[in-house]
């Protein structure tokens, strides 16, 4: 049986069998997600993943507020969209879904749901409710709160010049800072990566700082052992590009290309995507630094 067909048959079995044991479904979901991340055949993933994504989406709708399904949905839809969705209209459909799930993931916490229900006009009451939500976040919550914050944060960064994006910024930074305090090593230093993106994407008037961005990117790379290649891509694109530092930019991209992806199979798919991006950016380097 071809691998693509194996994935599709297995996913159909999961869909058709009415399993009452949530733990079993969660295990299957996590195992399949891990299997996808280890793939080195991008075409296989592109062809087989949509069946999995549709089933995962069905599980999310049938189990509203399930944090594990929402988190996995955000992770895999983000990965798939980044790798394969180039059409602007389809990309927006994916982004809207990811943003919706991020809001639902955070709303699975009663204190956040209460905060969200308070009118924006009642500023003081809303601030108090948000402070209570932040105070209630524990280390065990970090994966869920991070991915909820990530989906909303990436949308805000894409619209960083809009009033809505700027209004969200203080809330997102407060959540990110709490995660940073609880576990700054989470997901290969993702909290540092988030702050690197923030400091490198916003002007100084809104807290941006190239110096801080560089330090955060370097820390994220240090925590990941240099094994999460996307960190270096973002470092190059956000920091070195803005500083017009061709040597630093080129050096990082060549490090990505020279990296042996088989050393860390659990990151294989993400690292393949990063390598492809590095090749593309190097091809276009003369258009950036001229």
Higher-pLDDT residue of 237, 269: 237
Q: Report the pLDDT value the prediction gives residue 16, as an integer from 0 to 100.
A: 35
Q: Report the pLDDT value the prediction gives residue 53, as an integer from 0 to 100.
A: 87
Query: How does DSSP classify residue 227?
Result: -
Q: Report the pLDDT value the prediction gives residue 288, as an integer from 0 to 100.
A: 94
Residue spans of alpha helices (H) in 39-66: 42-62
Q: Does domain 184-290 have CATH number 3.40.50.300?
A: no
Question: Is a pLDDT exceeding 60 seen at residue 122?
Answer: yes
Q: Report the pLDDT value the prediction gives residue 206, as an integer from 0 to 100.
A: 84
Higher-pLDDT residue of 267, 20: 267
Compute the average pLDDT of residues 101-123.
95
Higher-pLDDT residue of 58, 153: 58
Q: Using alpha carbons, list the distances in angstroms from residue 209 to 96, 162, 174, 234.
A: 29, 20, 17, 15
Compute the average pLDDT of residues 118-132.
94
**Whole-prediction pTM:** 0.82
Percent share of the chain, pLDDT over 90: 57
Q: Using alpha carbons, list the distances in angstroms from residue 16 to 6, 29, 30, 35, 55.
A: 15, 15, 18, 21, 10
pLDDT band (50, 70, 90) for residue 37: low
Q: Report the pLDDT value the prediction gives residue 46, as an integer from 0 to 100.
A: 77
Compute the average pLDDT of residues 258-274.
87
pLDDT band (50, 70, 90) for residue 3: very low
Q: Report the pLDDT value the prediction gives residue 237, as an integer from 0 to 100.
A: 94
Q: Report the pLDDT value the prediction gives residue 6, as an integer from 0 to 100.
A: 37
What is the C-alpha to C-alpha distance for residues 27 and 234, in angstroms, rounded to an integer?
32
pLDDT band (50, 70, 90) for residue 147: very high
pLDDT band (50, 70, 90) for residue 202: confident
Name the average pLDDT for the chain.
Answer: 84
Q: Which of 55-59, 107-111, 236-240 has the lowest mean pLDDT?
A: 55-59
Instruction: Identify which of 10, 90, 4, 96 has the alpha carbon closest to the alpha carbon of residue 56.
Output: 10
pLDDT digits (tens, 9 = 90+) for 153-198: 888 767 766 676 677 888 999 999 999 999 999 989 999 999 998 8
Higher-pLDDT residue of 289, 154: 289
> Boundaries of CATH 1.25.40.920 in the chain?
184-290
pLDDT digits (tens, 9 = 90+) for 86-102: 888 999 999 999 999 99
What is the C-alpha to C-alpha distance for residues 135 and 87, in angstroms, rounded to an integer?
41
Q: Report the pLDDT value the prediction gives residue 256, as an integer from 0 to 100.
A: 97
The tokens describing 276, both together, are 């492809």
Q: Report the pLDDT value the prediction gives residue 249, as an integer from 0 to 100.
A: 97
Question: Is a pLDDT exceeding 60 seen at residue 10?
Answer: no
Q: Report the pLDDT value the prediction gives residue 174, as an integer from 0 to 100.
A: 95
CB 4 within 8 A of CB 47: yes
Q: Report the pLDDT value the prediction gives residue 52, as an integer from 0 to 100.
A: 80
């Amino acid at each position: 049986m071809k691998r693509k067909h194996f994935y599709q048959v297995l996913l159909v079995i999961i869909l058709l069998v009415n399993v009452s044991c949530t733990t079993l479904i969660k295990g299957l979901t996590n195992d399949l997600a891990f299997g996808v991340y280890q793939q080195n055949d991008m075409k296989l993933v592109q062809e087989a993943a949509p069946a999995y994504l549709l089933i995962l989406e069905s599980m999310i709708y049938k189990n509203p507020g399930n944090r594990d399904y929402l988190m996995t949905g955000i992770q895999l839809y983000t990965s798939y969209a980044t790798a394969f969705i180039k059409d602007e209209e389809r990309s927006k459909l994916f982004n809207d879904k990811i943003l919706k799930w991020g809001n639902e993931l955070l709303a699975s916490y009663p204190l956040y749901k209460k905060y969200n229900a308070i009118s924006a006009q009642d500023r003081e009451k809303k601030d108090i409710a948000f402070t209570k939500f932040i105070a209630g976040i524990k280390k065990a919550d970090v994966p869920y709160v991070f991915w909820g914050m990530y989906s909303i944060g990436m949308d805000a960064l894409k619209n960083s010049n809009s009033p809505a994006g700027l209004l969200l910024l203080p809330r997102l930074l407060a959540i990110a800072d709490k995660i940073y305090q609880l576990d700054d090593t989470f997901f290969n230093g993702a909290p540092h990566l988030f702050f690197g993106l923030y400091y490198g994407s916003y002007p100084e008037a809104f807290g941006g700082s190239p110096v801080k961005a560089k330090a955060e990117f370097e820390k994220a790379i240090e925590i990941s052992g240099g094994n999460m290649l996307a960190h270096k891509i973002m470092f190059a694109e956000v920091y070195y590009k803005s500083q017009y530092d061709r040597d630093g930019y080129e050096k990082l991209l060549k490090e990505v290309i020279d990296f042996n992806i088989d050393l860390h199979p659990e990151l294989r798919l993400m690292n393949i995507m990063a390598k492809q991006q590095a090749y593309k950016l190097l091809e276009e380097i003369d258009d950036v630094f001229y």
